[in-house]
Amino acid sequence: MTLPCIRSTIVTLLIMNLGKMMQGSFERIYALMNTKATEYTTTIPVLVYRWGIEGGKFSEATALGLFQSVSGLILVLLADYIAKRLGEDGLI
């Protein structure tokens, strides 16, 4: 089996994994975070948790979560468009 045979599978998996890129790793970062490293280790999922659950700012946490989801969707749609322009099938 060679790479040209599985090229469409590679493109499909690449497009689908681009949506996960915005999620980050909540558990690892939150578990290993301390007061000195908080400024450098804050990601969007950790910020949503801190604003929503710890701070009680549910509207701001929801808006940030929505931004994260929409930006992931834009990445997926953009990668799908580029894949179609390059001659692949894409997702949609």
pLDDT tens digits, one per residue of 18-43: 888 878 778 888 888 888 887 888 88
Comparing CA positions, the residue from 4, 2, 3, 17 lying closest to residue 91 is: 17
pLDDT reading at 91 higher than 70: yes
Q: Residue 69 is encoded by which pair of tokens?
A: 């989801």
3-state DSSP of 57-80: CHHHHHHHHHHHHHHHHHHHHHHH
pLDDT reading at 63 higher than 90: yes
pLDDT at 51: 93
Mean pLDDT, the chain, rounded, equals 87
CB 84 within 8 A of CB 9: no
Q: How confident is the model at residue 1 (pLDDT cuts 50, 70, 90)?
A: low
pLDDT at 55: 93
pLDDT reading at 11 higher than 70: yes
